[in-house]
């Protein structure tokens, strides 16, 4: 009986996977560039949402450093994959350090490198701070993200400073963004079923009880945080490959806020919820763009109010938090 249920579940997962792939194939052929870009963004935000959900939702830590880890991933990919002549054009203020200016990596190793570096920084920041309570983690990670931004703005010969980097090869396509999103979903399902996932949840529910059961709090927290940072770095790298242009100001706290919105609306600790809400929120972010810009309908001119879009999103977040304290699609 149980075997049969498991079998059924496996079958339905497989069906969903195949349907998704077919759907992506069709969308890839039919959508125009602008819509494809949004589709790509959806995939990237699924990965990012899941990475934050691993830390905040499953393990119950409160990290606000996503923008920083994404910046590390994005800059690593940008610097490593950019063609050598393009680098010379970008760095007209100050030449790039020779060590980096003469290399050109393929996308996949560069992306992995971005993830690994982000994970490494996650480990370095997490190891001291995770010994303390969550509040400190929130502020330390927020601070870390700001430091990364400040450092990237000032290291002219490595990151081109405030000017940013242009002409990053546009490698990210639907297969990259959604491929990695699907791998992340599957891996998260696998992880959460295993003993690590159970340990993460135990820590979230009750730290003291988890510790008495012999779960090493520190080890699991660091592991969750490091892996979450790794995924954030991968997400950032994909974003760089999609946009083609990055600068330090992209990675402000707004970016972290967007991902937090996705995670909270989808339900802390729900893989399905995060996936669905990542897609909805990303599309809505684009669809509501008209609020910020002036539009003309015939002779009617409606003045857009800059910032209105984010006001609406923060109100949505507040209402979601206050009304539904557990999120929208909470799994037991």
Out of 105, 107, 123, 136, which residue is the one contacting another protein (CB under 8 A)?
136
Would you say 56 or 275 has its CB closer to another protein? 56
Q: Does 144 bind another protein (CB under 8 A)?
A: yes
CB of 281 to another protein, least distance (A): 14
Give Dmax over CA atoms of the chain in angstroms: 70
Cα 94 from Cα 75, distance rounded (Å): 17
Q: Does 142 bind another protein (CB under 8 A)?
A: yes
Out of 7, 128, 183, 302, which residue is the one contacting another protein (CB under 8 A)?
128
Q: Does 146 bind another protein (CB under 8 A)?
A: yes
Helices 33-52 and 2-30 pack at an angle, to 10 degrees, of 150
Beta-strand pair 295-297/300-302: antiparallel
Closest CA to 102 of 112, 113, 91: 91
CA angle 299, 301, 306 (to 5 degrees): 160
Q: Does 55 bind another protein (CB under 8 A)?
A: no
Would you say 52 or 234 has its CB closer to another protein? 52
Tokens 């609306």: give the residue: 265
User: Which residues, numbered 168-227, are part of the site for another protein (CB under 8 A)?
Assistant: 208
Contact (Cβ atoms closer than 8 angstroms) between residue 75 and residue 246: yes
Would you say 86 or 310 has its CB closer to another protein? 310
Cα 233 from Cα 72, distance rounded (Å): 6
Helices 107-129 and 217-243 pack at an angle, to 10 degrees, of 140
**CB neighbours of residue 322 within 10 Å:** 8
Would you say 161 or 167 has its CB closer to another protein? 161
Q: Does 284 bind another protein (CB under 8 A)?
A: no
Q: Is 44 exposed, middle or buried (0-12, 13-18, 19+ CB in 10 A)?
A: buried
Out of 264, 271, 278, 329, which residue is the one contacting another protein (CB under 8 A)?
264
Helices 33-52 and 174-193 pack at an angle, to 10 degrees, of 20
Would you say 16 or 321 has its CB closer to another protein? 321
Q: Does 253 bind another protein (CB under 8 A)?
A: yes
Cα 232 from Cα 256, distance rounded (Å): 10
Would you say 160 or 171 has its CB closer to another protein? 160
Cα 36 from Cα 167, distance rounded (Å): 19
Q: Does 14 bind another protein (CB under 8 A)?
A: no
Would you say 84 or 319 has its CB closer to another protein? 319
Q: Does 60 bind another protein (CB under 8 A)?
A: yes
Q: Does 5 bind another protein (CB under 8 A)?
A: no
CB of 292 to another protein, least distance (A): 10
Q: Does 19 bind another protein (CB under 8 A)?
A: no
DSSP characters over 35-61: HHHHHHHHHHHHHHHHHHIIIIIIS--
Out of 2, 4, 29, 325, which residue is the one contacting another protein (CB under 8 A)?
325
Would you say 32 or 135 has its CB closer to another protein? 135
- Chain residues in the site for another protein (CB under 8 A): 56, 60, 62, 64, 125, 128-129, 131-132, 134-136, 138-140, 142-144, 146-147, 150-151, 153-154, 208, 253-254, 257, 260, 264, 268, 305-308, 310-311, 314-315, 317-318, 321-322, 325
């Amino acid at each position: 009986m149980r075997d049969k249920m498991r079998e059924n579940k496996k079958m339905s997962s497989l069906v969903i996977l195949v349907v998704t792939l077919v759907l992506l194939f069709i969308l890839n052929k039919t959508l125009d560039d602008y819509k494809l870009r949004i589709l790509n963004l959806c995939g990237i935000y699924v990965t990012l949402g899941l990475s934050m959900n691993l830390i905040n939702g499953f393990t119950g830590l409160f990290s606000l450093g996503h923008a920083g880890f994404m910046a590390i991933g994005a800059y690593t990919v940008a610097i490593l994959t950019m063609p050598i002549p393009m680098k010379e054009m970008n760095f007209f203020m100050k030449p790039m350090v020779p060590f980096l200016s003469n290399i050109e990596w393929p996308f996949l190793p560069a992306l992995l490198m971005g993830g690994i570096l982000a994970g490494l920084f996650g480990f370095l920041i997490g190891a001291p701070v995770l010994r303390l309570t969550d509040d400190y983690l929130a502020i330390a990670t927020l601070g870390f993200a700001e430091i990364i931004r400040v450092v990237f703005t000032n290291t002219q010969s490595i990151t081109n400073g405030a000017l940013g980097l242009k002409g990053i090869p546009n490698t990210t396509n639907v297969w990259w963004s959604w491929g990695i999103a699907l791998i992340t979903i599957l891996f998260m399902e696998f992880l959460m079923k295993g003993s690590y996932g159970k340990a993460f949840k135990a820590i979230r529910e009750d730290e003291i009880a988890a510790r008495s059961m012999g779960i090493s709090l520190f080890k699991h927290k660091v592991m969750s945080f490091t892996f979450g940072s790794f995924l954030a770095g991968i997400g950032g790298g994909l974003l760089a490959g999609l946009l083609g242009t990055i600068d330090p100001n992209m990675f402000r706290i707004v970016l972290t806020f967007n991902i937090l919105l996705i995670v909270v609306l989808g339900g802390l600790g729900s893989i399905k919820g995060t996936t669905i809400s990542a897609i909805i929120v990303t599309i809505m972010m684009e669809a509501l763009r008209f609020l910020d810009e002036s539009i003309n309908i015939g002779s009617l001119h409606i003045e857009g109010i800059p910032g209105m879009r984010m006001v609406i999103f923060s109100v949505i977040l507040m209402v979601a938090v206050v009304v539904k304290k557990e999120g929208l699609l909470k799994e037991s």
